[in-house]
Structure formats: C-alpha cells, structure tokens
Amino acid sequence: MNKTHILRTLTILLLSTLLFAGCAKAQHETAIKQRYADGVGAVCKDDLATFKQIIDPDSAKNDGKTKITWGIIRLLVTLGQMRADDFRVDEIQLTKDNTSASVFTSRREKGVWKKDDKPAIWILVDKQWHWKL
C-alpha cells in the first residue's frame, strides 16, 4: 500500500464515522421530540398512565414525586388554558455517548413564547428516551 491509498482509506473511514454519528444524533433528536410530544399530549389529556411511561423508571417508582410533578404541570396547563401546540422543543444537546440530553423547551402563554428556566434532562433507558424528574 502506498501513502495515497492509506490516506484515502483513512479519509473514507473518517467521513463514514462522521456521517453515522450525524445520523445517530438526528435519530435521537427525533425520538426525544416525539417522546416530549407524547408527554405533553398526556398532560393535556389528563392521562397520568402515559405520563408515567414518559418519565424515567426510577422517577416513576417514586409515586409521591411523580404525583406532585404531575399535579403542578396539570395545574399550570389548566389555569393557563394551554394546549399541546403551546409547547415546543427549541434545542437538544446530546452527550457524546448519546445516553443523556439537555432539552431546552418553550411554552406559549397568552400568545407569547417564553423559554423555560432550565433544560429538562432526558436519559436513554433500554433504547427509549425518558424525562428524568
């Protein structure tokens, strides 16, 4: 093998790795956005069972914490007369190993979009994304 062949092979490997990483990132982001939408839908429909499937298993085991979080979110949605389309994902920052993500979101209140104070943490458990309470 000559230098040109080695460099060409290394370049192809590098580009393939970058392309695969980009595809993986996009797949994770799409999955997180869908799970977020499912969670918002559950809250808007007053569906606690589905909400419990969206949060991470350890948080779901803590029934008190789950019900308090659920109650606060339901109260805000009800008082604010919010619908599912009043929530959105603005940005997702995945960790390098794609097992955790900071999810930056906004909500629309009285027609004005407001960024949430801090990102939600989402974790990958058994190949499915969950919101960590």
pLDDT in tens, 92-115: 999 999 999 999 999 999 899 999
Amino acid at 3: K
Per-residue pLDDT of the chain (133 residues; tens, 9 = 90+): 566 767 666 666 554 454 445 568 889 999 999 999 999 999 999 999 999 999 999 999 999 999 999 999 999 999 999 999 999 999 999 999 999 999 999 999 989 999 999 999 999 999 999 999 9
Secondary-structure breakdown of the chain: helix, strand, coil percentages, each rounded to the nearest 5? 55, 25, 20
Domain boundaries, the chain: 3-132
Q: How far apart are CA 8 and CA 78, in angstroms?
A: 60
Of the CATH numbers 3.10.450, 3.40.50, 3.30.870, 1.10.10, which one belongs to the domain with range 3-132?
Answer: 3.10.450
Query: pTM here?
Result: 0.81
Q: Is residue 111 exposed (0-12), middle (13-18) or buried (19+ Cβ within 10 Å)?
A: exposed
